[in-house]
Structure 1
C-alpha cells in the first residue's frame, strides 16, 4: 500500500464533500446537541443564537442557526444541559433538562413564537425516542441502568449482555458479538484502548472481579455495527465507556454490598466425598461451599474552583471468599472399591484365563479389574494383595481432594481532574490503579478436577492514565488530542505441595527432584495434581502500552467531517513454557498406582513405567517484543435533506509486527512475520425519516471491519522456531523413551521440536457487516424496532500442521452395545477416514525404515494461515419504553444462525484445529457461538405516589427491577476418545498404522465423530431471572439512603454448564483372528448427560445480595 496515495485519497474525499455545503459530530468520549429552529408556521429561522450550558459545570457553547435553521454543537460531555435559543422578533426558547449521551446526537426541534425577545418560553425537552439521524446499531447503558438493574457479574461491561446480538462465551465474562470470536472485540474507556493485546481481552482478564469501579462509569455504548470510523481494531463489537466528571456541586455516594452463601441454594453437582473411617467406605454428600462476596467503596466529586477546576474520585474494594471443591472427573469409578473376592469361578483377565471377569459377569468390574491390574503389573501373589494396594493407593489420592481455601481480594482507586482552561480549551486527566491477589484462584469455578494444592495462585497489577485536551479552534472547527499510558502486569505460580505430593513426586525412594517443584500427574477418570502444566508464569504478560490519538471535527454547511489518526505502541514481556516441570499422563488409576508403588520400592524403582505419555518443555522462559498499531480515519455525516442523513467513512489500519528473534536457518519461513498493509475499510450508512414526522425511520448501513493479530499468537511464532535456542516440547514420550516415574528429564537431547510460523500470505481478520432497521414510535414513549443483522467473516486465523505424512485409509465399524443408550451412529455402520500415521506391526512397534513425518528433524510444523470464512444472519425484534409514569422497560428477541469453517477462538496457537487437512470442507457447520434464539427483558418500576410527612417514610421510594434472559444452550460436538494406535489398514504392508499425533485422524486436531457436523448438539436451554428491590429514604434535602436486596437466578433454574461430549471410544477388536477397527459406544457416562450446572460467573445457583447506598 502506498501511504502517500492513501492519504491523498482520503484528503480528496474531505475536500470534494466539503464543496456541497451542518450535522452532528461526536466522538468516542462525548455527544452533541443539534436540530432545526422553526417559527410557528414551520418556516426555518436563521441567525438564531443558540447557547448550550452544562448544568454541572456552567461551561457554555454558542453558535447560530444557518439559513436552513440548522445548528449543531459538538464535543459535549455526557450529562444534562440547558439549551437557550434567541432570535430577533421572537420570544426566547429555553429547555433545562436536555440529556446528552455518549456517541450520539440529542435532537432538539425548537419552535419560536412571535413576541419580545426578552420573554422566555420554558419547555420540558427530552431527546426524541426515535433515532432519525444516526445509522449505527448501538445500545446505550445509562447511569440509571447501571445503578438499578441487577447483574450477577460485578463487571460493568457485563451489562452489554442486555444488547441484542451479544452472547456470553464460557461463563467467564467474555462476549461474542454477532456470532464472532470473543477475541475480535475492542473495549475503550474515555476513547482510550482498555484491552490487553496479548490475550485480546479487557485489561486484567477474567480472573479479577473487574478492572474499573462501576461507580466511576457515567454510561457506555455497545456498538454492534456501522459504528464510527473513529473506532477500530475490532471485527466483532466495541464497548465504549465514559467516566464521570466533577461539577460545581459536591456529589457523592457510598455503598456496601454483601452476598453470603448462607442465603444461597445448593448446586446439584457440587458433591464432596470423604472417608469418615480410615479404610472404610467413601461417603458422598451434597455441599454448599462458602461463597461470601463483599463490595464497598465510595465516589466523591465537586469543584476545586467554581466553573473552572473540578475533581472526581472513586475508591472500591472487592473481597471474595469462595473455597474450591476438588473432585474426580468420574466419581462413581474413582471411589468404587474392589470386592474382597471375585465372583465364583472367575479370575483376573490374562492371556491364559479361561473364565475372566468381564463387565457382563461382574457387577463391580471396574474396581475389581483395577485390583487385578495391580496384581498383574506389580506381580503380587494374590488378588487380595491387589485389593489392599488399590484401597491404600485410593486413600492416598483421595487425600488430595476436598475443599481448599480460596479467596480473591482487590482494590481500585480512580482519580480524575477536569480543567476548563478557558472558553476554548478543556483538559481532563484520569488514572486507574488495580491490585488483585487470589491464592488458589487460577480456577474460578465452584468445582475443579485438580488436587487441593494444585490450583495455582494468581496476581494482577493494572495501572493506566489518560490525558485529553479539547480545543475549539473556531465555532466550526475543533480538535481533540488524547494520550494514554498503561501497564497490565499479571503473574501466577504454583502452591506449596502437599505431604503426599512431596513424598511421591519430589523425594521418593532414592530420588530428589532437581528443580524442587513437582511434575504434573493427570489421571483419566480422576484428576490432576502436582504442578499445573501451564506454569511457570512469572509474567503472563507484563504489558506496557502507550497510545496517542488526534481527532479533528469540522462543520461546513450540511456536512460534519471527522478525521484523525491513532497509534498504539505495545511492549509485551511474556514468560511461560508449558510442561516446564514435566507432565505424566495415565489412562487409569491402576496404571498410576503401579508406578507409584514401583517408585517406593528400591527393587522396582528402576522398572519401566506404565504411563501413557510424558511431556516436558525446554528453552528460554520468555520473550519480549513490540508491536505498533497505526490507524487513520475520515468520516462525513451529511444531512442531505431534513429527512435523510448519510454517513460516509473510511478507515485504514496497519499492525506492525516484530521481526524474528530466533529464526531457524533450516526453515526459512520462521524468519518471516506478517505485514498486512491492505486494510482499507469503507463504511456507509443512512437514516431516513420516512414520513417526516419523526415517528417512523429506516436505518441501515454496510462496513468493513478489521481486527488485530493477537500478540500471544505472535509470541508462539517467536518462541517456537525449532532453533536450538527456542522453546520446544518433547513429543508424547512413552515409558520406553521417557523418564522413570516420577523423574524429569535433565536435558532435551534427542527431542524433535515443534515449529510454528506465519504463512507468507497471512492477512488480518476481516468482517463485512450490514444491517437494516425499521423503528416505529407507537406512542406512550415506546418504540418498536425490527432489524436484520449480517456479518460475513473472511481471512480468520487457522492453524495447520504441514509436516504430516500422506494419509492412509482406515475403516471403522460402529459398535452400539446398549440399544437403550444414545447412539449418534447406526450400529454396524462403517465409516472410512484418513489417518495420518506410520506403519507398525501387530504389537504396535514401529516398522523398520518407516519415516514418521516428511521432515523427520521436527514434530509438527504449524502454518498460521488466514483461510476461515464465517457468516452470521439475525432477525431482531425490540421494544423500548423510556422512563415515564414511573416505568422503564426494554426487551428483545433475536433469532440468529452462525456458520463457519471452524473459526478458531483460541489464543496462542495449536498444532491443528481441523479434522482432516486434506478435506477442509468437512469443517463447515454451526459456529461455536451459535445461539439460535435469545430473549432479553429488563424493567425498572418505581412507586408513583408521593406521600408527605411521616407517611413518606413508609410508602415512598420503592423500586423493583427485574432482568430476564432465556436462550438455547451452548452448542457442542459429539467426540471420540482414544488415540489411533495399531489400527488396521490395507495401505501399509504391515497392515497396521499408528497416528503421528492424537485424534482419530492422527493430526492432533478435532476428534469429532465422522459423518456428523460440528456443533450438531445443544446443551439444555438456559434461563435467568434476576430481581432487585430497593427502598429509598430522604434523610435530609439532597441526601438519599437506599436499602436494597438482589436475587440472582431467583427460580434456581439448573442452567447446565457442562455435558459429557464423548460418544464413542476408538479401538480394535479381534474375532476369529480378524482384527477390526471399532468405534464403540461410550457407556461410562451417557453422551449428553449434564456433568455440571450453574458453575461459572454468569450462571450460579440462586444467590441473595443485600446492600446499602448513600447518595448526595
Structure 2
C-alpha cells in the first residue's frame, strides 16, 4: 500500500503541475497585456518585484498575452512591463494577500521603450478567480484592534460563518465554523500544518504565534480548493512576517491590574474578595537585510505574565465558594530567514517556540480551589521551504516541516510531593505513578473537592513533506492555472496517563461526609487499575490533489479539482471478535473528493462576482478518537473500575449504609488500608486483568467522515474600497462517528440506583468468549461511522471597507442552523434501547449551534487631531442549546441516565436561575444565554521622523461589563443548580478591564 501511495505521489508530481498557493502560504499575480486597441501582446518582458525585499520574478507573456507569477510571498509588489515599440509600464503598490490571486491586466502605449509610464493603483477588492468563501485579516487589524487576550483567533471570528471560542485554557483560544466542533478546523502557518494530532484544533494551533509576528491571516470557511482538506470547519491559513531591505521592527508593552479590573459577576453579587488580577505583556520584533535584495531575517520575542480572575459559588456549600486568580505565563520566540539564491531559486526557514506554564487553573464547572489543575507546555514548529522557477510557466516548491508538543497536565497536590515536579514541563516519569499517592476526589452532586484527578503527559511529534509544482498554460481554450501536489505526513503520539489513579468517591448530595450519618456516605467509587496507562500510536497520511482554474474567457472561470486522502493508522485489534486477523485494521482507500467552482463577473468591470460550487470534503480522524483501541481492551493493564459497577449503591440516598465494601468506609480523606488491600487483591499492580470498565471495539468497516458542501453567493464593490457579499451554504455530513453500546443493559426499575443487567442484545459478545470467561458486565462501545450524519444551512452576510482615508470597517452576520445526531467523534446514542439506537429521537440541534452571530469592528484616525486613533469590536451571539432532563429516573430503563423532559416551560429555584425557559422537548430542546462583548481602544500616534512612530493607547474590554455565562445545568435532580447560571465563559467571564499599551514602531 505504501509503495502504491508513493507511486501515485511521484506520478502526480511528474505528470504536471500546480502551485498549492494557499497551502504554501503564498500568492499569485495573473493577467493579460494588451495594446490600447485591445490586441494581445505576446513576448512582453514582465518583472514582478517585492517593493520591500527586492526579491523579483521574471516572466514573459504567452501567445495570448497572458502571464502568471505563482508562489510569490504575500506583500506589496511593483510590476514592470517592456516590449520593443511600446512605452514601458511600471505599476506600483500592488498588495497581494496570502492564498489570493490578483488579476492585473496591463495596457501598453506605443512609444519608445525608454519612455516609462508609472502608475500607482489599488489592488482589486473583489477576487474574480475563486469560488472560495472567506476573508483576510491584515496585520494592521491584528495590531490596532482591541482584544483582551491578543489572540489572532479573536479576529478570525469576525468572518461570516465563524465563531470565536475563548477557552478556559491559557492561550488556547480557538474558533469554530459551519456549525462544526472546534476540533474540525485546519490551521496552517507558512504553508505547514500547525495542528494537534490528538485533539485537532480544540486548542487553536499547536504552537501559538504572537500577533506581532503575523503578517496576515486568511480564513476560508467554505468551498476551499483541492489543495486543502481534512477539515469540516474552516481553514486558517496564515503567514509570518519576514525581513525587508530596511531594518524594521517594534517594541511593545501592555499592562493592567486589579485597580482597573471590575469584579466578575459572582464576586460582585456575592460580595467575594476581589482577586489579584494583573497582566504584563512585553516584547519586540526586528527584521532587516543581511544582504540587500537577497538575504533577510526576522525575529520576535514575547513575554506574557498574567493572573486571571476565577470565581464560583455553591449555594449548598458556601464554604467552597471562591474568588481567586490563576498564575500563568509564556515565552514565545520566532525567527525566520529568507534567501533568494538566484533569479530562479529561493529558500526560507522558520522556527517558532513557546513555553507556557499555567498553575492554579480552575477550568471546569465543578472545580473548587481544592480541585485545581495545571498545565506546562513546550510547543514548537519548524518549517523549511525551497522554491524553484523551472521555466517561464513552471514553478516547483518543496517543504519540510516538523511540529512538536510536550505537555504535562497535573495538579497542585501532585506537584507538591517532590521539588522536581514543582514547575517541570518535561517531568520525571515517576510523576505519573505518584498520582496514586494523593487523597481521593470527593465528587459531590454539584462540585469536586479535596483533590484533582489530572495527571498525564501529552507527546506529539509530526513530520510532513510537501511537494508542489505549478504550470501556467495560456491559450488552450482559455487560460489554465493548473495545480498538482502531494503531501506525506507522519505523526507519533504518546499519552502516559494516570488520571483518577487516586480514585473518586461520588455522593448523592452536597452534604459533607459524616461517619455517623449513613445518608452522607459515598454511593459509588471509581479508580484507575491495575496501573498507569502508557501507549504509543503512529499515523501516516497521504494527500494528493489536482486543481485547474480555467478562465474560459474574461469574467468567467471554472475551478475544477479533485483530491485524495489516505489515512493509515496501524492498530492491533486485539480481543475484538469483529476482526478475524488482529493485524487487519481498517483503511479507507476510496476517499476521492471532487471539487467544482464557478466564478462569473457579470458587469465585466471587475466590480462584482457571482460564485458558487459543490465539493466533497473529508474530515480527519483524530488520533484521540482511535487511541482507545490500544487500552480499552477486554484484558488491559490500565482501565477504570467502578464500584458498584452498574449503578449507584441505593443505601445512602435511602438513609442506609452502602453495601459495597469500598464505600462503607470510616473516612474519605484517604483510601483506608483495608480498601487499598482489597483493590490490590483484585487488581495487582503490573498485571493484565479483565477490563470491568468500558471496552472499545473498532469497526472493520469504519471509514473517514466526509461532507457534501454546496455554496452560492454574490459579492460587489458598491463604492470604491467597499464591498458587500452574501453567501448561502449547505453542508451534509455523512459517515460521521456515532458509537453504539453493543452491551446496552436493562435496568431493573426506573430509579437511578436500580441495578442493570446485560443481555448481549446484538448476539456478538457471548459467542466470542473463551470457555470459562465471564460475560461482559459493562459498556462495550463500537467506534463506527455507519450511523452518524448531520446537516448545516447558513446565510452569511458581510460588508468590508478597506482601510483608506484613515478608516476601515468590517461587519459580518450569519444566520445558521446546525443539527444532526452527532457533532464530535466520540458521541454515543444515549437514548439507545436494546438494538434500537433511536436515531430519530436523537436528531436535534448541534451542541455548538447558534442561530445568530454578528461581529462589527473598525478603526480610524480621527480627522484634525494629528494622530488620535479609535478602534473597537462588538461581538453578539445567540445562545447554544442544552437538554432539560432528570437524572434521578431512567424511564426507558436502558441504564443511561439521560432522558429529556417533555416540552414545556421550566424555571429554576435558586438565585441566578433562569426563569420561564421554553423547552421544545427532546435532546437540546432549550437554549442558553447569548454572548455580548464590546471592546474599545483610544490612542495617540506620534510620528518620530519618517520611519518611527510611538503609539500610546488605552483599551477597555467588555465596556458594558456584560456578564457572559455558559449554559446552566439542565438536570432537575440537582435543584440547587437546575437552570442556575453558575459558570462564566472561559471561567473568567471577561469582566470590564482597562489596559494601557505602548508600541514603538521603527
TM range (shorter): 0.7 to 0.9
Deviation at 1:80, TM superposition (A): 0.9
Number of the residue aligned with 1:315: 301
Q: Counterpart in 2 of 1:1019?
A: 928
Structure 1 residue corresponding to 2:440, chosen from 519, 530, 553? 519
The yes-or-no answer on 1:418 pairing with 2:338 is yes
Say yes or no: does 1:574 pair with 2:495: yes
Residue of 861, 867, 876 corresponding to 1:957: 867
Residue 912 of structure 2 is matched in structure 1 by: none
Find the counterpart in structure 1 of residue 89 from structure 2. 93
Residue 434 of structure 1: which of 348, 354, 364 is its match? 354
Describe how 1:595-744 pairs up with structure 2 within 5 A.
595=515, 610-618=521-529, 619-660=531-572, 663=575, 673-732=585-644, 734=649, 735-739=658-662, 740=665, 741-742=667-668, 743=671, 744=675
Corresponding residue for residue 267 of structure 1: 264
User: What is the number of residues matched between the two proteins?
Assistant: 916
Query: 1:762 pairs with 672, 697, 702, which one?
Result: 702
1:241 is displaced (CA, Å) by: 0.9
Q: Are 2:345 and 1:456 aligned?
A: no
Q: Does the 8 Å contact 1:836/1:1001 carry over to 2?
A: no
Q: Secondary structure at the match of 1:262?
A: helix
Q: Hey, what's the Cα distance between the residues in 2 that align with 1:970 and 1:301?
A: 45
Following the alignment from structure 1 to structure 2, what is the Cα–Cα distance between the partners of residues 263 and 623? 48
Q: Is the 8 A contact 2:936 2:957 kept in 1?
A: yes
Gap change, CA 1:926 and 1:296, over 3 Å in 2 = same
Distance 1:1100 1:76, change over 3 A: same
In the TM superposition, residue 682 of structure 1 has moved relative to its aligned partner by 1.0
Q: TM-score, normalised to structure 2's length?
A: 0.85
2:286 aligned partner:
300
Partners of 1:1094 and 1:1061 in 2: how far apart? 17
- With over 3 angstroms needed to count, the CA separation of the structure-2 counterparts of 1:89 and 1:691, relative to structure 1, is same
Which of 437, 461, 464 is the matching residue for 1:547?
Answer: 464
1:276-308 Cα offsets, whole Å, 9 max, x none, are xxxxxxxx5244323212111100001112222
8 Å CA contact 1:167–1:176 kept in 2: the answer is yes
Q: Deviations over 1:356-390 (max 9, x none)?
A: xxxxxxxxxxxxxxxxxxxxxxxxxxxxxxxxxxx
3-state secondary structure, aligned to 1:154: coil
User: Partner residue of 1:1102?
Assistant: 992
Cα displacement string for residues 42-88 of structure 1 (whole angstroms, at most 9, x for unaligned residues): 33333222111111221221112223322111111111111111222
Distance 1:294 1:673 in 2: 50
Q: Which residue of 2 aligns with 1:334?
A: 317
- Residue number in structure 2 paired with 1:974: 884
The CA deviation string for residues 572-627 of structure 1, in whole angstroms up to 9 with x for no partner, is 1101244221110111244x4223x68xxxxxxxx998211111111442211211
Whole-Å separation in 2 of the counterparts to 1:713 and 1:1009: 35
1:553 partner SS: strand
1:26 and 1:74 in contact (8 A); partners too: no
| Residues 98 and 738 of structure 1: CA distance in aligned 2, closer, same or farther (over 3 Å) | farther
- Taking a change above 3 Å as real, the CA distance of residues 669 and 174 of structure 1, as seen in their structure-2 partners, is farther
Alignment of 1:974-993 (within 5 A): 974-980=884-890
Provide the aligned C-alpha RMSD in A: 3.4
Contact 1:585–1:612 (CA<8 Å) still a contact in 2? yes
The change in CA–CA distance for 1:522 and 1:477 in structure 2 (over 3 A counts) is: same
Q: d(CA) in 1 for partners of 2:328 and 2:176?
A: 26
Alignment partner of 2:514: what SS?
helix
Q: Does 1:58 align with 2:54?
A: yes
1:326–1:914 Cα change, 3 Å: same
The offset of 1:260, in angstroms, is 2.2
Deviation at 1:752, TM superposition (A): 2.4
SS in 1 for 2:360: coil
* Distance in 2 (alpha carbons) for counterparts of 1:23 and 1:637: 11
Contact 1:786 1:875 in 2 (8 A): yes
Alignment match, 2:721: 781
- Residue 403 of structure 1 contacts residue 452 of structure 1 at CA under 8 Å; is this kept in 2? no
Q: 2:741 matched to 1:805?
A: no
Question: In 1, distance between residues paired with 2:304 and 2:731?
Answer: 38
CA distance in 2, matches of 1:326, 1:893: 33
CA distance in 2, matches of 1:423, 1:102: 22
Report the Cα distance in structure 2 between the residues aligned to 1:188 and 1:47, rounded to whole angstroms: 37
* Match for residue 229 of structure 1 among 226, 230, 245: 226
- Shift of the 311–205 alpha-carbon distance from structure 1 to 2, 3 Å rule, reads closer
Range that drifts further, 157-166 or 883-892: 883-892
Cα distance per residue 1:687-714 (max 9 Å; x no partner):
1111311122111111111122111122
Question: Which residue number corresponds to residue 216 of structure 1?
Answer: 213
Kindly provide the CA deviation profile for residues 197-254 of structure 1, in whole angstroms up to 9, marking residues without a partner as x. 0111267879xxx722211111111111221222222122110111111121100100
Per the alignment, residue 872 of structure 1 pairs with 792
Change (3 A) 1:477 1:231: same
* 1:751 CA displacement: 6.8
Query: What is the rounded CA distance, in whole Å, between the counterparts of 1:201 and 1:223 in structure 2?
Result: 15
Aligned to 1:243: 240
Could you report, residue by residue, the CA deviation over 1:508-539 in whole angstroms, capped at 9, with x for unpaired residues? xxxxx9943111111114x3123323x221x1
Measured in 2, the distance between the counterparts of 1:809 and 1:410 equals 53
Partner of 2:767: none
More deviation in 99-108 or 255-264?
A: 255-264
Paired residue for 2:763? none
Partner of 2:271: 285
Deviations 1:742-769 (A, max 9, x none): 3254334597232101112211111111
Counterpart for residue 1111 of structure 1: 1001
The secondary structure found in structure 2 opposite 1:975 is coil
Distance (whole Å) between structure 1 residues aligned to residue 644 and residue 70 of structure 2? 62
Distance 1:158 1:915, change over 3 A: farther
Cα 1:43–1:621 shift into 2, 3 Å: same
Gaps of 5+ in 2: 417-433, 650-657, 684-689, 759-772, 902-916
Q: Which residue of 2 aligns with 1:362?
A: none
What CA deviation, in whole Å up to 9, does each residue of 1:712-761 have, x standing for no partner?
Answer: 12221211102143534335454423413432543345972321011122
Q: Deviations over 1:910-968 (max 9, x none)?
A: 765455561221111111121111222111212344xxxxxxxxx31222112122221
1:186 is matched with 186
1:179–1:872 contact (8 Å) kept in structure 2: yes
1:2-41, aligned counterparts within 5 Å? 27-41=23-37
Q: Determine the C-alpha separation between the residues in 2 that align with 1:233 and 1:751.
A: 34
Q: CA deviation at 1:268?
A: 2.3
Structure 1 residues 738 and 111, CA, compared in 2 at 3 Å: closer, same or farther? farther
TM-score by length of 1: 0.77
Alignment of 1:123-134 (within 5 A): 123-134=119-130
Unaligned 5+ residue runs, structure 1?
273-283, 336-397, 500-512, 599-606, 813-832, 840-853, 946-954, 986-993, 1003-1007, 1066-1081
Which residue does 2:981 correspond to in 1?
A: 1090
Does structure 2 retain, via aligned residues, the 8 Å contact 1:26–1:75? no
Secondary structure at 2:437 match in 1 = coil
Note if contact 1:1033-1:1042 (Cα within 8 Å) is conserved in structure 2: yes
Kept in 2, the 8 Å contact 1:885–1:944? The answer is: no
Q: Measure the CA separation in 2 of the matches of 1:640 and 1:929.
A: 41
Partners of 1:65 and 1:497 lie apart in 2 by: 68
Distance 2:444 2:583 in 1: 39
Show the counterpart of 1:196.
Answer: 196
Q: Distance in 2 between matches of 1:588 and 1:311?
A: 62
CA contact under 8 A between 1:255 and 1:1107: conserved in structure 2? yes
Q: CA deviation at 1:451?
A: 3.7
1:694 to 1:454, Cα distance in 2 relative to 1, 3 A:
same
Cα offset, 1:94, TM superposition: 1.2
